[in-house]
Amino acid sequence: MHVIDLAKNHFFIVTNPGKHFLFGSEMKCLWAGGIDKEVNNRMLFNYLSYAYIENPQDVSETFYNRCTRLPHSHYLKIDLHTLKIEIKKYYDIDWKYTNHEISVEQAKEKFSELFYTSVQRRLRSDVTVGSSLSGGLDSSLVVCVIDDIKKGSHQKQNTFSAVFPGYKKDERRFMDMVTSRTEVNPHYVTPNDEGLLEDIDKLSWHQEEPYGSASIYAQYCVMKLAKENNTTVLLDGQGADEILAGYHSYYPPFFNELKKNNSPNFKSQFEAYSKLHSNNSINGITKKSLGDRVRDISPALVKPVKQLRNSLRQLQQPFFDKEFYHTYRNQIFETPGNNFQTLNESLYNNTMVSGLQTLLRYADRNSMAHSRGSSIFIS
């Protein structure tokens, strides 16, 4: 028996045991090879009804029938005689494990060491390396570490950023804090609605599957800007939020855990959090959604409530064709929502199950649309 081991972040498969095994890093090559481009209506229904970008229970499912993706953290073996495939998971994270043998100071030192090593290794390149600078802590830290490593080399790094003058969520002032303290050549682009309308066909062609919002167009423009300035590889902080709890959605599981294990500390921490964000018009106090509240009562009620709400919408303002709606209305994907009881469990879910992988899909497609390499090393 001859076996081939295969592993790739974006690896698409069409297989018919005993007859053929087709694969590619994009679905376009499968369609070009004669595979019918047939929409997966179940995925389409969940996307249009509930904004699902993937099936949380089966991330290998795509928006096209017969075409599946090799899930991250898995490898594939194929028997060359029978063309049967075997898929196995080869790495995971034990989110329940805590190393109690090191102090907080030792952990900080180790993290710093690993971070610098990771950046240093990704600066090994025979082409120009730059950074995507968003103004957030993760990308700002990447830029500053590169600057520290390159100190004395007289070789400035290029940074590329999307800015939105006049918009309250624009982070240009944070970018300026970084660029004013480092030896960088900053480059900026301002994506707008006219550009999106002009580029939306190309953007969608490269993405291949639906996306959640127009925000990925900003990243598309940043990659285009890098190409225009002859920078081939960009270091990116993608994945830091999912590991270091950078999103506000992590507050509920953090407080769930604190309330259970340390009630006095929970009260003081929650009061401080509420005070800090009471007037935050951008990222206000995180509140439970209707789905989260229903899960508190009974997880089994989530799907029926979703069906009821969707049925009412369909009755009041019909969006779907009647036959299409009645065929797929019961095929709703299930998700744990944000009802995690510990912070680590929530971080694990966003890193290994649902969240980060979608962002990596956007980044991979946007970078390769302009023949750029996006080195995402935090994750």
Q: What is the pLDDT of residue 152?
A: 79
Question: Which range of residues forms the domain containing residue 170?
Answer: 102-288+338-379
Q: Does 298 fall in a domain?
A: no
Quick one: pLDDT at residue 354?
A: 82
Indicate if 110 and 83 belong to the same structural domain: no
Chosen domain end from 67, 89, 111: 89
In three-state secondary structure terms, 334 is coil
159, β-bridge pairs: 131, 186
322 within some domain: no
For tokens 């995507």, the residue is 132
The whole-number pLDDT of residue 8 equals 42
Q: Does residue 318 form part of some domain?
A: no
- Note whether 360 and 318 are within 8 A (CB): no
56, 89, 122 - which closes a domain? 89
Question: Exposure pattern of 225-242 as b/e (b: 16+ CB <10 Å)?
Answer: bbeeeebbbbbbbbbbbb
Question: How confident is the model at residue 6, as a pLDDT?
Answer: 40
Residue 257 maps to a domain: yes
Q: Exposed, middle or buried: residue 165 (CB in 10 Å: 0-12, 13-18, 19+)?
A: exposed
Q: What is the CATH number of the domain that holds 50?
A: 3.60.20.10
Q: What pLDDT is recorded for position 377?
A: 47
How many domains would you assign to the chain?
Answer: 2
How far apart (Å, rounded) are the C-alpha atoms in residues 78 and 157? 43
Task: Supply the pLDDT for residue 375.
Answer: 57
Q: Are residues 207 and 166 part of one domain?
A: yes
Task: Kindly state whether residues 33 and 147 are assigned to the same domain.
Answer: no
What does the pLDDT read at residue 20? 87
Q: How far apart are CA 82 and CA 20, in angstroms?
A: 9
Q: What is the pLDDT of residue 144?
A: 96
My answer on whether 183 and 37 are in the same domain is: no
Are both 180 and 44 inside the same structural domain? no
CA 29/CA 336 separation, integer angstroms: 35
Q: Are residues 72 and 150 in the same domain?
A: no
Residue 338 confidence (pLDDT)? 67
Residue 312 domain-assigned? no
Instruction: Please state the φ and ψ torsions of residue 261, each to the nearest 5 degrees.
Output: -100, -20
**Together in a domain, 232 and 377:** yes
Asked whether the beta carbons of 18 and 12 are under 8 A apart, the reply is no
**CA gap 340, 353 in Å, rounded:** 13
| Tens digit of each residue's pLDDT, the chain (379 residues) | 333 334 345 799 998 888 889 999 999 999 998 999 999 999 999 999 989 999 988 989 999 999 999 998 999 999 988 998 999 999 999 999 999 999 999 999 999 999 999 999 988 887 888 999 999 999 999 999 999 998 878 778 999 999 999 999 999 999 999 999 999 999 999 999 999 999 999 999 999 999 989 999 999 999 999 999 999 989 988 889 999 999 998 999 999 999 999 998 999 999 999 999 988 888 888 877 777 777 777 777 777 888 888 888 888 888 999 999 999 999 998 876 667 889 999 999 999 888 888 898 999 999 999 988 765 544 3
What pLDDT was estimated at residue 94? 94
CA dist 204 and 213 (Å) reads 12
pLDDT at 336: 67
User: Are 124 and 54 in a shared domain?
Assistant: no
